Structure 1
Amino acid sequence: MSKKAKQQKNQADSTRSLMGISSITEHSLVTGHGELVFFMLKPTNISVLSDSNVGARIYALMNVLKGIAEIEMLCLNSRENFEENKNYLRGREEAEQNPVIRKLLQQDMTSLDRMQVQMATAREFLLIIRLRNEKESEVKPYLSRIEKSLKDQGFTTKKADEHDIKRLLGVYYEQNVTTEKYEDFDGERWVIFGD
């Protein structure tokens, strides 16, 4: 394939196809390697728990994991990442001759550090179930059993819906945690139907 043909093909491909995503359903992400169902776990602040309670939480998670063979885990930083901004400010500070500007750049870096520390605990923990060739009639009861198992072991969980999945993709691929509603098509919110 020529370079021009590759460019035209890449331009015609959608973002989803470039990421290997076939579609997003109301409860899953469909890829070429199976259908992914996400269970969002609310984290427990283990820093305030006793050693025995931490051990009990680990044992509970172990019970869930050993009962489900096709489980995957994912942890996302559900916060802004300021590293590129801080690197830019460091470079500007080193190149800057004016001491007043250097001081302002240092204050900006300190401000970014404070914001990052305040948001450092914003993590999302996910259990991912990869469905492969399961019959549609068996999927719902299977997922319900997994959710019940998580809740029985004391975990606060929610099966991710379509909006949650789009938000997770935004955080994973772009570190975008500020968007409230993700569009299916770029600029979709500006289209007025019926005119």
Structure 2
Amino acid sequence: MSRKKEKVAAQKKETTRQLIGINDISDYGLKTSRGMLAFFSVKPTNLSVQPPEAVGGRIYALMTVLKGQTEIEMLALNSKESFEDNKRYYRERAAMEELPVISRLLEADARSLDRLQVQMATAREFFVLIRFRDDQDADFHTQLSRVQKSLEDQGFKVRLAGKEDAKRMLGVYFEQNATTEKYEDFDGERWIVLND
């Protein structure tokens, strides 16, 4: 067997977490072979309604945090669904429909998806990412507290992202899935019945 075929066969046996380099999803973030990734969820500020001075102040505050914490990285996710295919289908189907009442219903469905998409247009999520070489470091929790305090001192509303937040973030990042309410740890986990 060639090396390429061996590599492909080995990859087929790997779990999704192994393929993307995640060893575990903990209460503080993601454990990888290169260390721990901790995330803070940042509540966004609607800058479109702020005066230019306030926008400049927010930029300066973020710059202050980034200068003081060299281990910080930023992550922005677009957490909105796209309904373009569904809307196109409804409109095409409405154009082909012979019964006017069905045609109007299909057009109404397409309009409701338009309204829903407009409501979700600002569904952005922002995370501050901190990389650690090892989550067993004595100052792991101290450093998390220091970063959180630094962000809060500059007026940002943040919270440490937990296990469910990390799974949701991965779902949005890898498959643009912003609608799942609860992510499973294992495929089909919801169908397992214990003590039955």
TM-score of the pair, normalised by structure 1: 0.84
CA contact under 8 A between 2:71 and 2:130: conserved in structure 1?
Answer: yes
Tell me how many residue pairs correspond in the alignment: 194
Counterpart-to-counterpart distance in 2, 1:117 and 1:32? 40
- 1:9 deviates by 2.4
Counterpart-to-counterpart distance in 2, 1:108 and 1:3? 49
Any stretches of 5+ residues in structure 2 without a counterpart? none
- 1:104 deviates by 7.6
- 1:11 deviates by 2.9
The residue identity in structure 2 corresponding to 1:54 is: V
Match of 1:43 in 2: 44
CA contact under 8 A between 1:81 and 1:175: conserved in structure 2?
Answer: no
Going from structure 1 to structure 2, the CA distance change for 1:27 and 1:4 (only over 3 Å counts) comes to same
Match of 2:127 in 1: 126
Counterpart-to-counterpart distance in 2, 1:185 and 1:134? 24
Going from structure 1 to structure 2, the CA distance change for 1:111 and 1:48 (only over 3 Å counts) comes to same
Query: Residues 8-47 of structure 1: matches in 2 within 5 Å?
Result: 8-47=9-48
Counterpart-to-counterpart distance in 2, 1:150 and 1:19? 29
Query: Residues 118-157 of structure 1: matches in 2 within 5 Å?
Result: 118-133=119-134, 135-157=136-158
Counterpart-to-counterpart distance in 2, 1:6 and 1:108? 48
State the SS of the aligned residue for 1:137: coil
Counting aligned pairs with the same residue, the percent is: 55
State the SS of the aligned residue for 1:136: coil
Counterpart-to-counterpart distance in 2, 1:6 and 1:102? 53
CA contact under 8 A between 2:41 and 2:128: conserved in structure 1?
Answer: yes
- 1:180 deviates by 1.6
Across the aligned residues of Structure 1 and Structure 2, the Cα RMSD in angstroms comes to: 2.8
Counterpart-to-counterpart distance in 2, 1:176 and 1:134? 29
TM-score of the pair, normalised by structure 2: 0.83
Q: Deviations over 1:34-68 (max 9, x none)?
A: 32111100001122222222211111111111111
The residue identity in structure 2 corresponding to 1:186 is: D
Counterpart-to-counterpart distance in 2, 1:67 and 1:86? 47
Going from structure 1 to structure 2, the CA distance change for 1:104 and 1:4 (only over 3 Å counts) comes to farther
Q: Deviations over 1:57-93 (max 9, x none)?
A: 1111111111111211111112212245456678x58
